[in-house]
Structure 1
Amino acid sequence: MVTLGNRAGARLGGLLMNTKTARHLMVGSAVSALMLTSTAVQAQTVNLTMLVDNASHTVAISEALVAAFEADNPDISIDIETRPGGGEGDNIVKTRLATGQMTDIFWYNSGSLLQALNPAQTLIDLSDEPYMDDIADSFKQVVSVGEEIFGVPTRPAEAGGIFYNRAIYDELGLEIPLTWDAFMANNEAIAAAGHTPVIQTYRDTWTSQLFVLADFYNVLAQEPDWAERYTNNEAKYATSAIALRGFEKLAEVHDAGFLNADFGAAGYEDGLRMVVEGEGAHYPMITFAIPAISDTFGDAIENVGFFAQPGDSAEENGLTVWMPAALYIPQTTSDEEAARRFLAFVASPEGCAVQNEAVAVNGPYLINGCELPEDVAGVVRDLLPYFEEGGNNAPALEFLSPIKGPLLEQLTVEVGSGIRPPQDAAALYDQDVVRQAQQLGLDGW
């Protein structure tokens, strides 16, 4: 009995021990699972924020880049915030930087507007990043202060010049003009054939500036230090013959009767439609309009070509370039290493490929190794020779100098409408920029 009882007890004890062991194993497994889950959660705890403007193409590009980056970097997530464009957006960026409330990454202009952010005191220097060797020097120039580089390009290069209708050029057997005289001769032939030579759209006053702004490559070709002297109050539009030419060209096309009859009432969208449909032969504009043409007119974008605004020398023919906005990292970022990883992705061929899928490409990339889609529009291909070896391009003045007065678009409307002589407008514009230069604290003003 005792023996049987001992055996039964032993058996019972064994069962109890096995039960306890099983419970311990179950608890241990649960704890291990929780620890693994916790570790996985911890691996994804880096959360960044990014501020971008609310333009549709900016949001589309940002969302596509973030989605692709998160797929390759599951330990990092990025939340996108939007802000208005224009002056309101500028003030938001400046205020958030000044108060330490900026997001971990933000999308903003390059060139003169960047300089107003005091980047050396507010932004992370990216000059030591290996990918900087693959970014075009022309872009690094407009996101730098001294030896420090603060941004990576968000888009391909854009350019100011002249859209033209291919069918009209083919009908009349015209060649792309390399000089202003050749351009005006083309306009004479176009007018004689019953077509409108030059489209202007002064209802949207900003469009009136192109003949002045897109002429800046021709200024630099003659006086390479003009932007520096302008910033130092040593060069003026009214007293510089080469800089005055932009105002004079604006007047010449008006005085020759080359404009559309409704140039004062037509707007930007009208101008795009007119050059696509052949209601006019030339439309001075920046190539940021290419996605708008593609979205609105589809395959009819192939009706449109592009060339640089001509100067006085065929040998020195070149393109005035508008540099894209950039992505920056503020010094207040919550995780600099993670933010740097995202910018490295954006500045890579993989990042460019994501953009190719997200929106219509409107120019050549400024990053080595980035390729354009095979089906890119012909108007984009027209830009490429200016960026290839032996091609000529230079940044617009606003990327080389912080000085740009608010009165310019009103003055160019007046000149382009025959209301004010070019010399008078240039002199008034020289006066217009004085206050801005003084507010910026520039030497010599």
Structure 2
Amino acid sequence: MNFKKHGIAAIAIAAAAALSACSAGSLGSSDDDTTSGGAAAEKIELSFLVDNTETSQMTAQAIADGFMAENDDVEITIESRPGGADGDNIVKTKLATGEMNDIFMYNSGSLLQALDPTNQLVDLSSEEFMSRVDEAFLPSVSSGDKVFGVPFGQAMAGGILYNRSVYDDLGLEVPTTWDEFMANNEKIKAAGIDPVIQSFGDTWTSQLFILADFHNVTQAQSDWAEKYTANQAKYVDEPAIKGFQRLEEVATAGYMNEDYATAKLDQALTKLVNGEGAHYPMLTFVVNTYVTLADDAAENIGFFAQPGDDAATNGLTAWTPAGIYLPATTEGEELEAAKRFLDYVATPEACDAQTEAVTPTGPYMVQGCTLPDDLPQAVLDLQSYFDEGKASPALEFVSPVKGPNLEKITVEVGSGIRSAADGAKLYDQDVEKQAQQLGLEGW
């Protein structure tokens, strides 16, 4: 997938997350909302399942409110689910039992393929509104000729958020190689500051050193994803094992915060903003959360791509947005209303509603959508990678293979319970099971 070709290099990558979760409130009937007999018309009620992060809740509420303002015959209620593996299991169970909400938000890419979308989801390929969705997004929500989702939020990236004041005080420069990064960590530790913040209390956050390293993998072996999908490349081998090794190196060197095992995402961001820690491996969707924590946070927290072995090939690993999908169990007037909702989501008006609610994480993947000019420093840092053509898609957007237990394995490696080699080997086994379930050739 060529992100640069489809305009990401022309727009600033922003940040996101949010302030507080919201639930949908009911809208009162207007004077005109009556039948010919004078009784209030009954609204079509839709439930919209979204993960429980503040950003997702705020984004979902914004687009639901925008839609309902133009469609007073429909009422959308937002429901929440956990993130990570627990959330994956809830989505799979709801689909398998026929109890999925009318509309749901979920990952695009490889995790979507694990839902058996051809049998479980409504095909949207013939809907007119899909022509307004950026072509770069479509492969991540497709299976064969069928397309199943519209973008939820914006594109984002994975890498290292860092405290610029700490860097300035210690005279450090942004690293472009892993050796430079580790040298910075040593100086930061000597200054009495936690070099690398981790938040294994939210287990999904433990994966970033592996996931954000994928640009480095592709630079070392351009066809790695293709071979990986065909069962001809493994994480236990070079170059992919280096992500596991880098997680292990940081832990072994004692560079992590003392409470890494129990700290949550919000606590980690607070440490970063307060200068208690210098680096936080993370996806950029969290930026709008941390900018609320201090007046100077938007300017003081920067971002750089995860360094690899060669400064000349240093670059960014990028993510397409999540998607909004309709389960096959949504039928009748609910299906018609749900499609109207997706039609609204794929408009500049819906993008503007999201921007009003949360600072964007990056470019919207809907035609005609624009971004504001006043974006946080991390966004400006991200932009340079795209401007220079130094960005590539994350593995989950170029391969359907992703094991469900990576976050559990990375917690063990980052905690010293399991070696990098053992973790990579275990993940290869986890991947094998998933690939066999998908029926891929060579497995």
Quote the offset at 1:278 in angstroms: 1.2
AA aligned opposite 2:146: E
Q: Is 1:120 the equivalent of 2:118?
A: yes
AA aligned opposite 1:287: T
Q: Which has the higher contact order (CA 8 A, sep 6+)?
A: 2
Partner of 1:401: 400
Quote the offset at 1:443 in angstroms: 3.5
Deviation larger for 413-422 or 275-284: 413-422
Quote the offset at 1:277 in angstroms: 1.2
TM-aligned CA distance change 1:69 to 1:245, over 3 Å? same
Partner of 1:364: 363
Partner of 1:227: 225
Give the SS at the match of 1:382: helix
Q: Tell whether the 8 Å contact from 1:363 to 1:383 is kept in structure 2 after alignment.
A: no
Partner of 1:62: 60
Partner of 1:21: none
Q: Tell whether the 8 Å contact from 1:104 to 1:334 is kept in structure 2 after alignment.
A: no
Q: Tell whether the 8 Å contact from 2:196 to 2:257 is kept in structure 1 after alignment.
A: yes
Give the SS at the match of 2:365: coil
Given the alignment, which residue of 238, 248, 251 partners 1:251? 248
Distance 2:312 2:129 in 1: 34
TM-aligned CA distance change 1:173 to 1:151, over 3 Å? same
AA aligned opposite 1:216: F
Deviations 1:305-355 (A, max 9, x none): 111112223343222233332112344432455433321221222111101
Q: Tell whether the 8 Å contact from 2:34 to 2:40 is kept in structure 1 after alignment.
A: no
Given the alignment, which residue of 231, 235, 238 partners 1:237? 235
Quote the offset at 1:423 in angstroms: 2.2
Pairing of 1:47-126 with structure 2 (within 5 A): 47=44, 49-53=46-50, 55=52, 56-74=54-72, 76-86=73-83, 89-91=87-89, 93-94=91-92, 96-98=94-96, 102-126=100-124
Pairing of 1:287-298 with structure 2 (within 5 A): 287-297=284-294
Partner of 1:427: 425
AA aligned opposite 2:356: E
Partner of 1:268: 265
Quote the offset at 1:185 in angstroms: 3.4
Distance 1:222 1:413 in 2: 26
Q: Is 1:444 the equivalent of 2:437?
A: no
Quote the offset at 1:254 in angstroms: 3.4
Please say which structure displays the higher CA radius of gyration.
1
Q: Tell whether the 8 Å contact from 2:51 to 2:87 is kept in structure 1 after alignment.
A: no
Partner of 1:165: 163
Distance 1:190 1:212 in 2: 23
Quote the offset at 1:216 in angstroms: 1.3
Partner of 2:372: 373
Give the SS at the match of 2:402: coil
Q: Is 1:339 the equivalent of 2:358?
A: no
TM-aligned CA distance change 1:93 to 1:414, over 3 Å? closer
Distance 2:368 2:184 in 1: 38
Quote the offset at 1:370 in angstroms: 2.2
AA aligned opposite 1:351: A
Q: Tell whether the 8 Å contact from 1:159 to 1:287 is kept in structure 2 after alignment.
A: yes
Distance 1:225 1:44 in 2: 58
Quote the offset at 1:405 in angstroms: 4.1
Q: Tell whether the 8 Å contact from 1:46 to 1:338 is kept in structure 2 after alignment.
A: no
Given the alignment, which residue of 308, 313, 319 partners 2:310? 313
Distance 1:164 1:383 in 2: 13
Deviations 1:120-168 (A, max 9, x none): 2333333345554554444222101123221111111232211100112
Q: If each structure's helix is expressed as a fraction of its own residues, which one has the higher value?
A: 1
Relative to the length of structure 1, the TM-score reads 0.79
TM-aligned CA distance change 1:64 to 1:364, over 3 Å? same
Quote the offset at 1:412 in angstroms: 2.9
TM-aligned CA distance change 1:98 to 1:168, over 3 Å? closer
Give the SS at the match of 1:242: coil
AA aligned opposite 1:152: V
Distance 1:323 1:95 in 2: 25
TM-aligned CA distance change 1:197 to 1:265, over 3 Å? same
Quote the offset at 1:67 in angstroms: 2.3
Task: Provide the aligned length of Structure 1 versus Structure 2.
Answer: 408
Q: Tell whether the 8 Å contact from 2:225 to 2:395 is kept in structure 1 after alignment.
A: no
Distance 2:417 2:88 in 1: 33
Q: Tell whether the 8 Å contact from 1:152 to 1:327 is kept in structure 2 after alignment.
A: yes
Relative to the length of structure 2, the TM-score reads 0.79
Distance 1:261 1:295 in 2: 25
Considering only aligned residues, what root-mean-square deviation do their CA atoms show, in Å?
3.4
TM-aligned CA distance change 1:290 to 1:393, over 3 Å? same
Give the SS at the match of 1:351: helix
